[in-house]
Amino acid sequence: MDVQELLERYNRGETNFEKIDLRGQILPNINLSRVNFKEADLRDINLIGCSLIQANLKEANLSHAVIQGDLTEINLIQANLMSANLSKCDLTDASLRNANLSDTNLSHSIFVCSLLHDSNLKKANLSHGKMINCLLSRANLSDANLQGANLQGANLTNAIMMNTNLEGANLSLTQMNSVNGFGIKASHANFSHANLSGGNFANGIFHDANFHDSIMTWCSFKMTNFTHADLSEAKLSWSNFTKAILTKANLIDANINQVTFDGANLEGTIFTK
Give 42-69 as a DSSP string: -TT-EEEEEE-TT-B-TT-B-TT-EEEE
Cα distance between residue 45 and residue 177, in whole Å: 38
Q: Could you report the per-residue pLDDT of 99-145, keeping only the tens digit for each?
A: 999 999 999 999 999 999 999 999 999 999 999 999 999 999 999 99
**What's the pLDDT score for residue 98?**
98
**What's the pLDDT score for residue 273?**
79
**What's the pLDDT score for residue 204?**
98
**What's the pLDDT score for residue 112?**
97
Instruction: Band the pLDDT of 9: cuts 50, 70, 90.
Output: very high
**What's the pLDDT score for residue 271?**
94
**What's the pLDDT score for residue 202?**
98
pLDDT at 11 over 90: yes
Cα distance between residue 110 and residue 113, in whole Å: 9
- List Cβ neighbours of 5 (8 Å cut-off, separation of 6 or more): none
Q: Could you report the per-residue pLDDT of 57-82, keeping only the tens digit for each?
A: 999 999 999 999 999 999 999 999 99
pTM: 0.95
The mean pLDDT of 218-223, rounded to a whole number, is 98
**What's the pLDDT score for residue 49?**
96
Query: Which of 144, 142, 213 shows the shortest CA–CA distance to 172?
Result: 213
End-to-end, the C-alpha distance of the chain in Å comes to 72
**What's the pLDDT score for residue 1?**
81
Cα distance between residue 113 and residue 116, in whole Å: 9
Ramachandran area for residue 103 (φ above 0: left; ψ -120 to 50: alpha; else beta): left
User: What percentage of the chain carries pLDDT values higher than 90?
Assistant: 98
pLDDT at 22 over 90: yes
**What's the pLDDT score for residue 55?**
98
Instruction: Band the pLDDT of 179: cuts 50, 70, 90.
Output: very high
pLDDT at 2 over 90: no
**What's the pLDDT score for residue 106?**
98
**What's the pLDDT score for residue 263?**
98
